[in-house]
Structure 1
């Protein structure tokens, strides 16, 4: 494997997702389901609306009785329906969201009505078609209809729909347990006490923040020194984890010990090295523990490499474990706000700023530079050996907000 060439991004993502099986299903209340993915499709337990409702304030009249005059015989308000019936020549005052009573099939807007006591008549040019202002029974959905598919993420609109369909609890996948390990002798645990030969251990905090955008149980270990014994002790604390993420030590240097430490722990390397820049030395491994599979991601130590590979691999992996129908991030087409140099020998992901209309790559793209990373809200997906691009040309980007998903 050491001499094999790097594989493509798409192959690497496909191989990673092929390793995943969604976690066990549990039922939680609607608030607990927010941000999670529906494990099974749900059907409506009721019809919405359950009866014909008025869509506007006005007067409800009998079908075909749109010329008047009419005698007002009652009122229907939202939550307080009129108890009687409406016959031709009669009307009830009705408010938005109120139920139409028996006999009433049309609503005339109050703007089209002149009222004198209990008698109303048309004014102006007359009413629009009466059914235009009626929300018919079952307009939104009917009992038994599929309302939400499996794999959809539960957000505000989905939670409201589930409640309207008669659900107080939803089936979702168990939250993945994630352990993040910072490794490297050069890392200082305390950023306020960092010697000149050290750097603050920031990758673990960055990765922890990224995974906590999803409903996971995540902890951070480290920094861990560059010895097999130290790594073995760290991995020993990961027996209950579904996903283990390491940052640093996944390359081929004398002090890059993640691979041998994983193999000694009983992990099997699935693939190593992906043809992207930054992030080439990413490693994916699996391990059988207590009758279930653990997935290990060995991410590069440079912060830009670590974040980009987490965006392209770690977040999709967690979404797949949570049962997402589409775990990979979405691309967006936009236009360049400044020219781009030609692409290199590897597919590149350029840190960039997007203003909603145009995207501009930052001038500093070194994988160790953090200021440009913090100033970015997008990555430009730059093809291998792409020609130079002029301002205004279309490019594909990934948006960092929400992990690049809709």
Structure 2
């Protein structure tokens, strides 16, 4: 496939996500839903609260009986409501979260109460108004209330909300299977001795697996693929049941860049490659049957950046997200930034007192500078030089 013009990142994202088809919908127990996305809207099955509740520890009284005194007729505790109706001049001890007894309409807090045996007197200022310190039935939501639309990410808050709304499961798309293939004769497993100065530790695979660790993804790291077309083809074929195959390195057109010919041997089809971004130009997207093959650059910073703007949006889309692209935050430039060439630039920066400052080493293999960075400053293609104080969109890291 010939090189041609470099593809703008926004177009590449659009074309990549158009290939994504979320898998079947399953009903998953709440405890297993973290990181998924709602496949259908979430609606309440019950009213919350289900009855008028006390918001404070104290005494349930009738506003008209103020300033008292009252006779203590009983107690309403959470899960054990007072069963009778309070008559005029009667009060009930009540706990936070307990149901308001019939005949009461106000809570007198503990700090305003003085009790002697079964006699209750007002010791402070008392409730400020009728209905004080009561959580009214349905004030959070009513049955059939739309709580969250389809495509919403499931976090701890939504899990708690779903449980309170009467759900034990949530409709989500199944977990994804992702195979991560490090490629290249020069790579040695992390921690293993390096046979020669020409060898380097394989960092991309473990990095990408870590990026995906917070997603509902089953990621596998097969052995490194050597620079032989038969090895490439075999590795791809062995993972052909995965939803996504990620490769790092081998996606360009050098003598040892064998991803494209290996795909051709297996009947795969390249959708696009070579993006107008820096770092990250040698990206390739292909299809192998129903599997999406994402060929990322071999340089680790390039692999990291392209994973943020392509891999994670793809995973989110396959999981049913409606907002898959990364969100940015605006900062002011703390130092002048040079004009940008024909490729969109992702600059590693530190945030210092609310302004961004580029790190000195922007090489696509410089992992130490990536670790030091707080964000990636996004500089559009052909952008003019930016001065101190100019607004810059940033993709936050960490």
Residue 171 of structure 1 corresponds to which residue in structure 2? 171
Partner SS state of residue 222, structure 2: strand
| Matches of 1:212 and 1:93, distance apart in 2 | 50
1:404 maps to which residue? none
Whole-angstrom distance in 2 between the partners of 1:127 and 1:190: 66
Maintained 8 Å contact 2:240/2:288: no
Match runs of 1:22-37 below 5 Å: 22-37=22-37
Corresponding residue of 1:305: 302
Q: For 2:343, which of 316, 321, 346 is the aligned residue?
A: 346
Q: The residue matched to 2:298 in structure 1 has which SS?
A: coil
Q: Find the aligned partners of 1:325 and 1:148 in 2 and give their Cα distance.
A: 12
Give the aligned partner of residue 333 of structure 1: 330
1:4-403 correspondence to structure 2 within 5 Å: 4-62=4-62, 64-189=64-189, 191-194=191-194, 195-288=196-289, 293-354=290-351, 357-401=354-398
SS state at 2:393 partner: strand
CA shift digits 1:162-218 (9 cap, x unpaired) = 111122222221111111111122222364321111222211111121122211111
Relative to structure 2, which stretch is displaced further, 344-353 or 124-133? 124-133
Query: Taking structure 1 as the reference length, what is the TM-score of the superposition?
Result: 0.91
Distance in 2 (CA, whole Å) between partners of 1:90 and 1:70 is: 5
* Farther-moved stretch of structure 1 (360-369 vs 341-350): 341-350
Gaps of 5+ in 1: 402-406
- Secondary structure at the aligned position of 2:51 is classed as coil
Note closer, same or farther for the CA distance 1:33–1:190 as it changes in structure 2 (3 Å cut). closer
CA distance in 2 between counterparts of 1:196 and 1:312 reads: 33
* Equivalent position SS for 1:207: helix
Aligned residues: 397
- Asked whether the equivalents of residues 249 and 257 of structure 1 are also in contact (C-alpha less than 8 Å), the reply is yes
1:257 CA drift (Å): 1.7
| Runs of 5+ unmatched residues, structure 2 | none
Deviations 1:127-153 (A, max 9, x none): 212324111111112223222322222
Structure-1 separation of matches of 2:200 and 2:230: 22
Change (3 A) 1:130 1:338: farther
Q: Does the 8 Å CA contact 1:377/1:399 hold for their aligned counterparts?
A: yes
Does the 8 Å contact 1:66/1:127 carry over to 2?
no
Q: Secondary structure of the equivalent of 1:285?
A: strand
Between 1:236-245 and 1:108-117, the stretch displaced more is 108-117
Q: Distance in 1 between matches of 2:384 and 2:375?
A: 21
Deviations, residues 92-133 of structure 1 (Å, cap 9, x unaligned): 121211110112121122333344443334444442123241
Contact 1:108 1:130 in 2 (8 A): no
For 1:139 and 1:381, the matched residues in 2 are separated by 43
| Stretches of 4+ aligned residues off by more than 6 angstroms | none
After superposition, give the CA deviation of every residue in 1:262-312 in whole Å (9 maximum; x if it has no partner).
122111111112211111121111122xxxx21111111111111111111
Cα distance 1:304–1:240, how it changes in 2: closer, same or farther (>3 A)? Answer: same
**Partner-residue secondary structure (3-state), 1:98:** coil
Cα–Cα, structure 1 residues 355 and 82, in superposed 2: closer, same or farther, change >3 Å? farther
Deviates more, 1:383-392 or 1:10-19: 383-392
> CA offsets per residue over residues 24-49 of structure 1, 9 Å max, x none?
11222111112222222232222211
Distance in structure 2 (CA, Å) of the matches to 1:261 and 1:33: 37
Alignment root-mean-square deviation, CA: 2.0
Equivalent-residue separation in structure 1 for 2:143 and 2:190 (angstroms): 58
Deviation at 1:3, TM superposition (A): 4.3
* Farther-moved stretch of structure 1 (349-358 vs 151-160): 349-358
